[in-house]
């Protein structure tokens, strides 16, 4: 097959450079444009020496980039950009994957409340397919526009999915206790993510409400086929990459085989690894890979199920999942470009 011509809008952030790392090694991709207003004219490999010899492009001002000749454009931009630029690309026959949150939440007033701006393309929100392959694989294959899930929502939804689909827990009282590395805050200068502030420290934040909460609730409600109750508490940890979600729910039947339930649900999923009974997944076991590793526990054989779900927030939680979606959209083998093993140590 001919190569997929790809453009990246916003190539200087952590998700942008992670996209470049993965796409540069993808056998079916030709990267044709990378945009950045602030870095226009600079060689990509000068900003990111890790890409020397693999990405021979310069950053282009978005106004000058020839994105309409691409087959697919990734938006690795702040929230609020893709919703302004996607329609023109779609009209030109270009497919779009947005790694930000512009198209994830179907209820427009809810999105506007949590993201603090008016939505520029409500009609596209209705069309966009939520890009969690483990749920929407068939819809993604035919999509023009994919809303790539957030990092916390990926780890949490994959952890709760088998339980809610099977209807084996009380969905009115779900708890997601999640921790993220500092790269989840993006590549920007803010006091709370400075080395001296974030290192040797651990804290919860946004307990009263995090903007990923409505995205997670929307996905879980769809799995549950009805409303549910969710408490979501994120934490910042002193590491660069990784998300660890510890999930709690109350079982309706304490005698069921939870290990078998999870193994059966994910038996054919290439990027979800259900660990053996009694295991405890670590974030370093997925660092740099597109894998989600999950373990399910039933402490003291009681009525509480505890699910442990770990991902790399920049790969399975962002760029890797976007590449997986691209593979589905263009009929490429799902694991193409995503077979990297996790880095250890």
What does the pLDDT read at residue 301? 97
Average pLDDT, the chain: 96
CATH number, residue 51: 3.40.50.720
140 domain residue, yes or no: no
What does the pLDDT read at residue 87? 98
Round to whole Å and give the CA distance between 32 and 45. 15
| pLDDT tens-digit readout, 19-35 | 999 999 999 999 999 99
Domain match, 296 and 173 both: yes
Please confirm, yes or no, whether 151 is among the known catalytic residues.
yes
| pLDDT tens-digit readout, 230-257 | 999 999 999 999 999 999 999 999 999 9
Domain tally, the chain: 2
Domain match, 85 and 234 both: no
Domain match, 159 and 307 both: yes
What does the pLDDT read at residue 192? 86
Q: Band the pLDDT of 38: cuts 50, 70, 90.
A: confident
Residue with tokens 């939505």: 119
What does the pLDDT read at residue 6? 98
Domain match, 286 and 190 both: yes
CATH number, residue 258: 3.30.360.10
Average pLDDT over residues 179-187: 91
| pLDDT tens-digit readout, 283-336 | 999 999 999 999 999 999 999 999 999 999 999 999 999 999 999 999 999 999
What does the pLDDT read at residue 273? 98
| pLDDT tens-digit readout, 140-178 | 999 999 999 999 999 999 999 999 999 999 999 999 999
Comparing CA positions, the residue from 221, 230, 178, 15 lying closest to residue 101 is 15
Comparing CA positions, the residue from 97, 82, 107, 92 lying closest to residue 131 is 97
294 domain residue, yes or no: yes
Domain match, 181 and 255 both: yes
Does the pLDDT of residue 1 top 80, yes or no?
no
Domain match, 48 and 108 both: yes
Higher-pLDDT residue of 88 and 191 is 88
Does the pLDDT of residue 190 top 90, yes or no?
no
Helix 133-141 vs helix 151-166: angle between axes, to the nearest 10 degrees?
100
Q: Which residues of 280-306 are buried (b: 16+ CB within 10 A; e: fewer)?
A: ebebbbbbbbbbbbbbbbbeeeeeebb
Domain match, 98 and 177 both: no
336 domain residue, yes or no: no
Annotated catalytic residue, options 23, 34, 82, 151? 151
| pLDDT tens-digit readout, 90-129 | 999 999 999 999 999 999 999 999 999 999 999 999 999 9
Domain match, 84 and 11 both: yes
- Could you list the residue range(s) of the whole structural domain that residue 160 is in? 152-313
Round to whole Å and give the CA distance between 36 and 46. 14
What does the pLDDT read at residue 88? 97
What does the pLDDT read at residue 345? 87
Q: Band the pLDDT of 185: cuts 50, 70, 90.
A: confident
What does the pLDDT read at residue 187? 84
- Written as one string, the DSSP assignment of 232-295 is EEEEE-SSSS-EEEEEEEEBS-TTS-HHHHHHHHTTT-TTEEEPPTT----GGGTTTSS-EEEE
Domain match, 95 and 185 both: no
Q: Band the pLDDT of 11: cuts 50, 70, 90.
A: confident
């Amino acid at each position: 097959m001919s190569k997929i011509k790809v453009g990246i809008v916003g190539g200087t952030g952590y998700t942008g450079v992670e996209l470049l790392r993965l796409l540069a090694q993808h056998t079916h991709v030709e990267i044709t444009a990378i945009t950045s207003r602030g870095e226009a004219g600079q060689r990509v490999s000068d900003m990111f020496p890790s890409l020397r010899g693999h990405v021979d492009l310069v950053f282009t001002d978005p106004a000058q980039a020839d994105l309409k000749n691409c087959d697919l454009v990734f938006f690795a931009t702040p929230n609020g950009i893709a919703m302004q630029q996607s329609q023109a690309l779609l009209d030109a026959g270009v497919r779009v994957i947005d790694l930000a949150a512009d198209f994830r939440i179907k209820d427009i007033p809810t999105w506007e409340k949590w993201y603090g701006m008016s939505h520029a393309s409500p009609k596209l929100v209705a069309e966009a397919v939520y890009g969690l392959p483990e749920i929407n694989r068939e819809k993604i294959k035919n999509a023009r526009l994919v809303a790539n899930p957030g990092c916390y929502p990926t780890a949490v939804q994959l952890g709760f999915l088998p339980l809610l689909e099977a209807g084996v827990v009380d969905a009115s009282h779900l708890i997601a206790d999640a921790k993220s590395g500092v790269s989840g805050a993006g590549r920007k200068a803010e006091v709370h993510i400075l080395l001296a502030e974030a290192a040797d420290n651990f804290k919860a934040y946004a307990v009263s409400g995090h903007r990923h909460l409505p995205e997670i609730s929307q996905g879980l409600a769809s799995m549950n086929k009805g409303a549910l109750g969710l408490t979501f508490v994120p934490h910042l940890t002193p590491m660069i990459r990784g998300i660890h979600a510890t999930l709690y729910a109350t079982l309706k039947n304490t005698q069921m085989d939870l290990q078998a339930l999870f193994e059966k649900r994910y038996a054919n999923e290439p990027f979800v690894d259900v660990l053996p009974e009694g295991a405890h997944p670590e974030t370093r076991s997925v660092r740099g890979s597109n894998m989600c590793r999950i373990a399910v526990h039933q402490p003291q054989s009681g009525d509480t199920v505890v699910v442990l779900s770990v991902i790399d927030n920049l790969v399975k939680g962002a760029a890797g999942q976007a590449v997986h979606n691209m593979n589905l959209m263009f009929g490429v083998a799902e694991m193409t470009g995503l077979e990297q093993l996790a880095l250890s140590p």
